[in-house]
Structure 1
Amino acid sequence: MAGKQTPRQKMINLMYLVFIAMMAMQVDRQVLRSFEGITVTLDESSKLTAENNNTFYGQIDLKADSDTDYQAIQQRANQVKAESDKVYNFIESLKVNLMQELNYALPDIYSEEEKETNYSSLSNTDAITKRMFASGGPTETATDLQKSVDDYRTFMAAAYPAGSKDAERINKLFSTEDRQRRTWIQRMFYDQPMVAGLANLTKIQSDIRTEEGNLVRALLSNKLEEEIELKAFEPIVMASPLVLSGKPADANIAFGAFDNTLQGKITVGGQEIPLVNGKATIALNTSGSGKKTISGTMTYKDHTGEFIEPIPFTHEYEVIAETLMQPPSGAVISADKMNVVYRGLDNPISATVNGADGPISLRASSGNLSGSNGKYVFRPGTGNTVTFTASATTSTGKSVSGTQEFRIKPVPPARGVILGKTHITVPANGIAAQTVRVDWPDFLFEMSATVTSFKVKVPGQPTTSVNGTTIGAAASKAKKGDAVFVFDIKYKSSTGITGEASPITIEVR
């Protein structure tokens, strides 16, 4: 008789089964809502990244309007944008069609009105499966999707040197290889609920916008680096315009803003002269009297390690008798750092006047200039150029002078860093202690700045504004697997310069 149950026991068992079913339904709904939250966060991240990318496109367009050297960069950047938009918009149209078919829309995270989640649409597996698979294999839509991703991967990887970390990252990030006897389309979409399919598609879009930004920033950064290296270094011949007949005389040939570690070479009359501490020294021809010329070429290794196209130089001097009949004239002005001066900084300037017999006077057409005895500090004012005029008096009492024009440039943009990196991985309990800083990598001047404020975006959470340098509680709700975005980083430098640094990504592990 042990198998018989009372009506009360049967009712208890039935209620228990109903309770278990309700618990299972609750778990399923929580999973669906989590996937929905991930999709919404990725979609919002893509939009923020696109806005940031547009800033770099705008900088390139602005420079291209005033500098023809940037037009090639502009053309390349436009190609990157076109290729990125093409595959991004293809995926977006696929997502829109899926959501319209199931009468579903992603929730607005900024809306104060909470709308009930359409769980039947989120859990639907038929829509995306039918869209991607037919009885004979993948549909035309699935084939077009995979081809778009493959084409984009090929285009982006080709923009970097073969075998570089950037190219490897692109190939891994947009890989569509078969794995465990399953195709990429099967792994991503077969028998998947609609919300999972949307999450996978939105993840691809987020990666597209991120890598688009990485490449455009690299194009602009490489151009700026090339501009500094190719335009800042110019040959400077340092020799007296008058030498005495039969007396030894030397000429120093150096690079403007010269670096004593620079690897280069000077060629004069077919003879190669090695650099010693950044300069080459040759003996001048002082036989006989009259005007003479020294000419040749210089070249140096750029940031790629290759020698640039040789740059020609020429210098005239005059060999005279022991008695100085005419006073020399002219002046030499050089920037201690480079052939530009930076706005907002104290730029060291040196000035000499050949044949000067007394103090040297230096004037600037704009800005503030201080110093004496050939050593000065200049802080630029308005405008894009400044002209320096150096003057002095010779032993005969004649006044001689010379002028030189310099370009005025802004300080390069700062980058936001944590622990010296723009992309870090930390555990969730370690984010609060992280300090946000800024730096100027590879900039010739020593720069320091203090972060005054920034914003923190945690997936699924409202954006938090922080005053100061420490993240603190702004990312307290970050979870393992989240990508925390630190952006709108405001700073003030030790020289009084204020600005906004590039964003930082924190991966939570």
Structure 2
Amino acid sequence: LNTTFDFSDQLDDGSTISWEQSKFEHYPLISVLTFLTKMQSDIRTSEANVIDYLQANIGKSDLKFTGVRTVVMPKSTYVTQGGEYEADVFLAAFDDTQEPTVIINGEELAAEDIIGGVAKVRFPANKVGETKWNGEIRLTQNGEEKIFAVEGMFNVAPPSVVISPTKMNVLYRGVDNPLEVSVPGVDPSKLIVTGTGVKKSGKGYIADVTRNRGGELKISVAVKDGEVTKNMGNKVFRVKNLPDAAGSVFGKTDGIMSANLIKKAKVEAKFVNFDFELPLTVESFQIIISPFAPMECKGPSLSSNAKAALDKAKPGTTVIIRNIKARTAKGMKPKVAAITIDLN
């Protein structure tokens, strides 16, 4: 068009003249009419060429597809009771005459993983928690490659099974009771665990019910989902005191021992067949050596009076160590069984 309708000034014998002068000045009328007729023809030809060009480019940038299919994209296929199932339902177009190129995390998918325009993406679930991925889909149409970005994420939860001994749902005062809390399909970092004395510890939780004066503790679990917190339920545990401990000297709770050996002994207290390693510190005890009156001793060792009484005791005399007062690091004072020793 710029060449056909060039109305710029013209050069004539070294001088510049206007387009009108170059086409009409000093020309006979018949020549001017012929020139104007040619211009009319050029205009009609240009109009036709412009229309053909526009028609050829209608929809040129549109993507061409050969069919559509229904797609259901649920927010999650795992829904807890009382929750809500949510999904996007729509029609997706595809071109079965060519397969797109799909690149995920920098690697192109194999041709066998793309069927009917649908790519199968697989990731090994080796790491617990949230995993994000991204990539792009490339499709060539009308000789031009189109690139579409794609991204996604998924959560990996460890395999879990719930087996609850219904008669053993017990938490003990005076110890840090370990707890494992999980919700299938939920990232552990999104859990909210509440209960008096319950707090996060490493990858799990602990429950310290030392200050709990009641007989039960309710532990509740919720999930933080964006700005929404969903209650997942609760469980009630029984709260019990520590079991009775056993007193001992040289690892014995009864038996036969010499007076000199008893004088060197330190009274100990420990839990037997208890699931927690919980040391006890002996604060005091009472010792009975017949025929003397009961004597009080401070700490784990015998007093000088008790040692003097042992020096005077006859073989066969029964020595009883009772009223043993011991405490845990948290200040709990369990009942401690007495020690009975016969002198040889």
Would you tell me which structure has more helix in proportion to its own residues? Answer: 1
Q: TM-score, normalised by structure 2?
A: 0.48
Larger CA Rg, structure 1 vs 2: 2
Would you tell me which structure has more strand in proportion to its own residues? Answer: 2
